[in-house]
């Protein structure tokens, strides 16, 4: 028999919040730090009593496990939405504001208005519902953990798609983060249309 891992404390946290706010939405982002690509956000509403085996902070899960959970979360969620802010919006608004915009788009795209949105981190997007930030929320709340998985998997898939268009940058390996390999490839091939120019201003100004 397969061993099941259930992080009950994540679901208990959301249950406690539902005592005051019946419809709880978890929100998280993926891709704030990379030098290239859009920033992603996801919003997830789970019903009371919905349990998802292995659900945890996406950073604590293997890529294979995240991919498996991606479909399970979409199937079991009462509602979910994955949204983005573009490279152009990141450069125009700055990464914090672009991330808040992606989160706002995710929540507004749910089709259900939550009573409260639990936001991973320490900043709050401008939403029409009540908001509460949760430090390291993807390791605290089941709905935030679910959002973290959706955002992470969706963004990784997007970066693999970009890699096919820009194979010289090896995006499928580093997902746009500022690894040694990525920086070396930028120096070799220059800055592409999918790079965040405000993240590479010193390098860009030299070109």
> Would you say residue 2 lies in a domain?
no
In a domain, 25, yes or no: yes
pLDDT digits (tens, 9 = 90+) for 143-183: 999 999 999 999 999 999 999 999 999 999 999 999 999 99
Is 198 domain-assigned? Answer: no
171 domain residue, yes or no: no
- Is residue 51 included in any domain, yes or no? yes
Query: Residues 3-17: pLDDT tens digits?
Result: 567 889 999 999 999
Q: Does residue 65 fall inside a structural domain?
A: yes
How far apart, in Å, are the Cα atoms of 106 and each of 16, 128, 167?
24, 13, 30
State yes or no: pLDDT of 94 exceeds 80: yes
User: For the segment 66-80, what is each residue's pLDDT rounded down to a tens digit?
Assistant: 999 999 999 999 999
In a domain, 107, yes or no: yes
What average pLDDT is seen over the chain?
A: 94
Residue 207 within a domain: no
CATH number, domain with residue 124: 3.30.420.10
Give every strand in the sheet of 79-85, ordered side by side: 79-85, 39-45, 24-30, 116-120, 130-134
What total of structural domains would you count in the chain?
1
Gyration radius (Cα) of the chain, Å? 18
Residue 103: which domain range? 8-158
Start-end of H helices in the chain = 8-18, 63-76, 87-93, 95-108, 142-165, 171-174, 180-189, 201-206
pLDDT in the model for residue 6: 84
């Amino acid at each position: 028999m397969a061993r099941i891992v259930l992080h009950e404390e994540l679901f208990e946290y959301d249950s406690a919040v539902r005592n005051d706010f019946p419809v709880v939405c978890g929100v998280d982002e993926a891709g704030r730090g990379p030098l290239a690509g859009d920033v992603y956000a996801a919003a997830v509403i789970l019903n009371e009593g919905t349990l998802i085996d292995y659900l945890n902070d996406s950073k604590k899960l293997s890529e294979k496990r995240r991919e498996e959970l991606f479909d399970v979360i979409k199937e079991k969620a009462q509602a979910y939405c994955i949204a983005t802010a573009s490279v152009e919006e990141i450069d125009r608004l700055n990464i914090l504001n672009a991330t808040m915009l992606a989160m706002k788009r995710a929540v507004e795209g749910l089709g259900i208005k939550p009573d409260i949105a639990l936001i991973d981190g320490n900043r709050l997007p401008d939403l029409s519902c009540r908001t509460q930030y949760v430090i390291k929320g993807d390791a605290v709340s089941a709905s935030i953990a679910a959002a973290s998985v959706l955002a992470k998997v969706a963004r990784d898939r997007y970066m693999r798609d970009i890699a096919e268009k820009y194979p010289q940058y090896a995006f499928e390996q580093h997902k746009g983060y500022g690894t040694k390999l990525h920086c070396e490839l930028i120096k070799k091939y220059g800055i592409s249309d999918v790079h965040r120019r405000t993240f590479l201003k010193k390098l860009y100004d030299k070109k």
